[in-house]
Amino acid sequence: MSNKRLHYLDVAKGILILLLLVDHFGVVSGDKSMGLEPRYFAGIFFFHPLFTTFYMQCFFFISGYCSNFHRDGKTFMTKQFKELVVPILFFGIVSGLYFWLRSNRVESFSFITYWFLNALLFSKVTCWILVKYVKSEKVQWAIVTAMLIAGVLLNHYQKDANVLSLYQCLASCFFVLLGISIKKHSKAQRFLIRYAWGGYVIFWAITYAFHLAFTIPKVTGSFMDFELYKIPLIIIVPILGIFTCLRICQLINHNKILEYFGRNTLVIYGLHIIPFYYIVRAMSEIYVPMNIFTGAIFDVSACLVEACVMAIVIKLFFYPPLKYGVGRW
């Protein structure tokens, strides 16, 4: 396996993590205590389906593409413990303490789980087992496709039993295996990167023309419930989005800022909500949007400030003891 760093993948991760901030602005601004009207952010929210339907799946794809699933069990599992289990525990405790302190109730402390980290750990271990012990690619694909469908069905019929984001875990293995497989099939990779963007543009042009953009299913932390006949869309739409994103990032190729964010996505993912909340609250004290135009300015400004703050926070995680919390040792 080549150790050559693919800069466009760091660029892709940087863009994806910034899209996470854009998406989560809706979560933070939705806090009623801030007195912000969601309808004034509709101008930005209108475009969210263009990326919320694939951007988390793209993270899984890149992880599958970049990871070595042919390592021996001890080496592979040790790496997952260091890079995922430790951060899961670290961010879970930090977030739990933060919300405990905010609530001022001792009995309210709870360990906060992060669906993406749980799903990434589960899907990487599952795909390592498949690569190691299931030699037929067709059988591997049959298994992860069945798991994806099982995750959707469980989410549809058993909503209250999603312990440790099990349903997202099941649905995510498909995209990790996609990353593993596409690396072995260079012709398919070149074809998809060259032509997927056309399907992406046509699909969304039709979807928006018929006012269906917000009905397209997606698998994120909230795991959108949808009609079961739409199951193919949670495969097709992310694939179109993933390879459209990669085409754009190959054209960019190098960008120091995006690569900086892309190489430190774990820190941003684990901690971005805490400063984001106070940034939006502070801005709402200064001025409150009164229409879609000022709402768009507020949205973009808050995301830019948040990105700057997270750039500083990232720096702190290069030094002990914080660096140990994200597996840097």
Evaluate if residue 1 carries a pLDDT over 70.
no
Distance CA 287, CA 283 (A): 6
Domain-located, residue 2: no
pLDDT for 104 equals 73
Domain membership flag for residue 260: yes
What residues make up the domain containing 12?
Answer: 7-325
Q: What is the mean pLDDT of the chain?
A: 95
| 161 CB burial (10 A radius; 0-12, 13-18, 19+) | exposed
Judged against a pLDDT cut of 70, whether residue 107 lies above it is answered with no
**285 in a structural domain:** yes
Position 93 in a domain? yes
Number of domains in the chain: 1
CA distance 214 to 265: 27
Residue 318: pLDDT band (50, 70, 90) is very high
Instruction: Measure the CA–CA gap between 148 and 60, rounded to whole angstroms.
Output: 13
Does residue 130 form part of some domain?
yes
User: Tokens representing 178?
Assistant: 């996609």
pLDDT digits (tens, 9 = 90+) for 181-192: 999 999 999 999
Q: Is residue 69 predicted with pLDDT exceeding 80?
A: yes
Q: Is residue 1 part of a domain?
A: no
Q: What is the pLDDT of residue 160?
A: 84
Q: Is residue 83 part of a domain?
A: yes
What is the signed CA dihedral for 112, 115, 117, 120, rounded to 10 degrees?
160
Look at residue 233 and tell me if it is in a domain. Answer: yes
User: For residue 268, is pLDDT > 80?
Assistant: yes
Q: Does residue 230 carry a pLDDT above 80?
A: yes
CB 18 within 8 A of CB 311: no
DSSP 252-301: H---HHHHHHHTTHHHHHHHTHHHHHHHHHHHHHH----SHHHHHHHHHH
Rounded to an integer, the average pLDDT of 300-326 is 97
By CB atoms closer than 10 A (0-12, 13-18, 19+), residue 306 is: buried
